[in-house]
Amino acid sequence: MRTSSWATLVRPALLTAVLVAVDIATSYSAELPTTGPVERLNDFLAASGRTRGADFTVQVEDHIAHLSGTVRTIDQAEFIAESAMCMDEVFGIVQDLRVDAPAAKAELVATELLSRSPVLENASIRVSVSHDGVAVVSGSVGCFDEEDVARELVSRVEGIREIDMQVKTDPFLMRPQGAVEAQLLMSYADDPISSSYALVPTFSDGRLVLTGTVASPEEKDRLLLTSLVSGVMECDAAGVVVDPQLAVAGIAEKDYQTSDILKVLDRVIETDPRLAECQLVTGFVGSRLTIDGVAPSAAAREACLADARALPGVTGIDARIAIGDGVGPSLSAN
């Protein structure tokens, strides 16, 4: 490992971010954590009830968490990675969790989830799943938020190992008001921290009103920002109460700047042996992470995307990673 470059380029910015998180946790907690990040993560995941059927191990080295083993769904893998990022000592993730479940009924289940979602009421989405668990999602949505929700729903289906998003955005597909509330409830329930809070969004005529309880003023600020989804013109969070008793020592959401995300991702790519032969360039266009370059295989490309999705602040990815010799069409992944 190039620990000198890690210390020089990454650690100063990240220590600032993580020390802020530690200060928040300690200022709202009665005691400091008495366990290490691995034990704390395992306890947190056990309490969540989200990892039934998963068999995985966690190692933390030089502030990078290495996750390996098997899960039932992509959603389980991503929840484990996001939870690991909430440990104060963890800066980045090498996500090597493999879906181990049959895909025989995956297409039927995914189709039903998409058709029943109130978030996608006006969208027109189709999904096909191959025998080896590759899901191709196509059709039309009204905005990037609906594309994110479609991917999230498909990720919850057992046996699906990879998701290829091929949907198109049609701005004439107007969102019903109920779609905003439904999307936010999904988002809050899927976040390792906010899933334990009772948050209620009420949306009408472009105005969102939030009520509930969080552990710190910083969490309230992040909640407000992440709630500004498509269709929301104004957000009133006056009804969100801060209760310091909800804070858990050593566990907090991180708030990376885009420059921090890129530094950590470069370090993770350097650390992950699956990406040793990749030639990748990372950046941001607007609020979306971009990854360009060449990977030796589709598996290496998916490994890069899995590592990137685990980082805080990454809500969308535009990946143009060619496979093999670099000759071929550009690929994208949400």
Instruction: Write the pLDDT tens digit of every residue in 269-308.
Output: 999 999 999 999 999 987 789 999 999 999 999 999 999 9
- First CA to last CA across the chain, in angstroms? 30
Residue 31 has pLDDT above 80, yes or no: no
The CA distance from 9 to 137, in Å, is 39
Instruction: Write the pLDDT tens digit of every residue in 89-115.
Output: 999 999 999 999 999 999 999 999 999
Selection from 189, 190, 192 nearest residue 200 by Cα: 189
The CA distance from 285 to 193, in Å, is 27
Q: How confident is the model at residue 144 (pLDDT cuts 50, 70, 90)?
A: confident
Beta carbons within 8 Å of 89's beta carbon, 6+ residues apart: 18, 36, 37, 60, 63, 250
Contact present, 280 and 265 (Cβ < 8 Å): no
Residue 25 has pLDDT above 60, yes or no: no
Q: How confident is the model at residue 315 (pLDDT cuts 50, 70, 90)?
A: confident
